């Protein structure tokens, strides 16, 4: 039992370390494994600190004057400190207990800040913010250049793909399908809608429909949606692949002037398709002139207000 626990702990530690390295690689754009490992070690597992280390190493060092130097007076002291290339020879040791060295270091830091502000009109804080913004922009550009394979990769460890008890199931992003996942997950969590989809049965004449009718598109999608909902309820995996349902949707949305669908437009079209699919089933089961459509009753209603006039 102890051996199994040690193996699981080592596996979890390796997984955490690999995840950490992948995040560093994506954020900084550095692919050198040795540099990333060193950043992981120096930061003791702190992602923000590791990013700061790597960003500081990659930041361009401002050019220094070779011969020029400046002088600043210490408060309450007649001595001057040279600031510039000539001051590098006099390294201040802050590890000792000498208070004069600490005062010299403070004065040197203030002098450097004042010199940078006089030359560029930008404070050190503003320069630091600028570097952070540049790193963020570079990160966003790197994300835009990533291929779908880099965005999503199934874990090789089967335990990482196993669903935890009573945990909700996710939908795999199969390529710019966040709009699909958002709508489907929202509808799935409507208990009445979920019940209608899971209990849906296609009409008996579904196979006889000609290919140019819209029902030939709605019914296959309805079957795929029912299958997808069943997986979201009973699968033992953390996520499921909705590719078949997505392909049906993409084929239906294709047109000469088609553009990427937004969530609102997709929701309206999806509900129209489901309404048509349930309408076919309702017409088959009843002889009424206007059979009740459960989708219409669920999403479209009427409000009747009655008043009594006294007097």
Cα separation, 142 vs 24, in Å, equals: 12
Domain borders along the chain are: 2-61+131-151, 69-124, 161-299
pLDDT tens-digit readout, 10-51: 777 777 788 878 877 777 778 888 888 888 888 777 777 777
pTM for the whole structure = 0.45
pLDDT tens-digit readout, 68-117: 444 444 444 444 444 444 444 445 555 555 556 666 676 677 666 666 66
Name the CA dihedral angle for 46, 48, 52, 53, rounded to a multiple of 10 degrees. Answer: 20
Q: Which residues of 55-67 are buried (b: 16+ CB within 10 A; e: fewer)?
A: beeeeeeeeeeee
User: How many CB atoms within 10 Å of residue 244?
Assistant: 14
- Write out the two tokens for 172: 């795999």
**Is 72 in a helix, a strand, or coil?**
strand
Cross-strand pairs, 92:
none
- Write out the two tokens for 191: 């208990």
Architecture of domain 161-299: Alpha-Beta Complex (3.90)
Q: Beta strand pairing status for 80-84 and 69-73?
A: antiparallel
Which helix (H) or strand (E) covers residue 283, if one does? helix 263-285
- Write out the two tokens for 158: 């089967």
Cα separation, 297 vs 193, in Å, equals: 11
Q: Are 194 and 266 a contacting pair, CB within 8 Å?
A: no
Write out the chain's pLDDT in tens, 311 residues.
Answer: 555 656 667 777 777 788 878 877 777 778 888 888 888 888 777 777 777 777 766 544 444 444 444 444 444 444 444 444 444 444 555 555 555 666 667 667 766 666 666 666 666 666 777 776 677 666 665 555 554 444 456 666 766 678 777 788 888 887 777 778 888 888 899 999 999 989 988 777 666 655 555 556 778 888 888 988 898 888 888 888 888 888 877 766 654 344 455 677 778 888 888 888 888 777 766 666 667 888 888 887 677 778 888 86
């Amino acid at each position: 039992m102890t051996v199994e626990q040690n193996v699981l702990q080592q596996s979890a530690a390796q997984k955490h370390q690999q995840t950490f390295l992948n995040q560093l690689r994506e954020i900084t754009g550095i692919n050198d494994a040795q540099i990333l490992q060193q950043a992981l070690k120096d930061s003791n597992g702190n992602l923000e600190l590791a990013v700061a280390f790597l960003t500081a190493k990659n930041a361009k060092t401002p050019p220094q004057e070779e011969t020029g130097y400046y002088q600043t007076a210490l408060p309450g002291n007649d001595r001057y400190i040279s600031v510039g290339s000539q001051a590098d020879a006099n390294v201040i040791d802050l590890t000792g207990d000498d208070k004069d060295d600490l005062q010299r270091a403070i004065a040197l830091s203030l002098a450097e800040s004042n010199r940078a502000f006089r030359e560029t009109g930008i404070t050190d804080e503003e320069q630091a913010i600028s570097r952070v913004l540049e790193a963020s922009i570079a990160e966003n550009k790197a994300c835009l250049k990533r291929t779908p394979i880099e965005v999503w990769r199934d874990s090789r460890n089967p335990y990482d793909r196993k669903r935890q008890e009573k945990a909700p199931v996710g939908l795999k992003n199969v390529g710019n399908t966040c709009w699909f996942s958002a709508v489907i997950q929202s509808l799935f969590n409507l208990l009445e809608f979920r019940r209608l989809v899971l209990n849906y049965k296609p009409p008996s004449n579904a196979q006889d429909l000609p290919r140019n009718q819209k029902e030939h598109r709605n019914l296959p999608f309805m079957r795929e949606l029912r299958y997808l909902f069943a997986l979201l309820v009973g699968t033992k995996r953390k996520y499921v692949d909705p590719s078949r349902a997505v392909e049906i949707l993409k084929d239906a949305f294709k047109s000469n002037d088609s553009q990427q669908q937004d969530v609102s437009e997709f929701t309206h079209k999806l509900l129209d398709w489901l309404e048509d699919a349930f309408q076919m089933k309702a017409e088959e089961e009843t002889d009424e002139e206007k059979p009740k459509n459960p989708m219409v009753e669920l999403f479209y209603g009427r409000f009747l207000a009655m008043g009594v006039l006294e007097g």
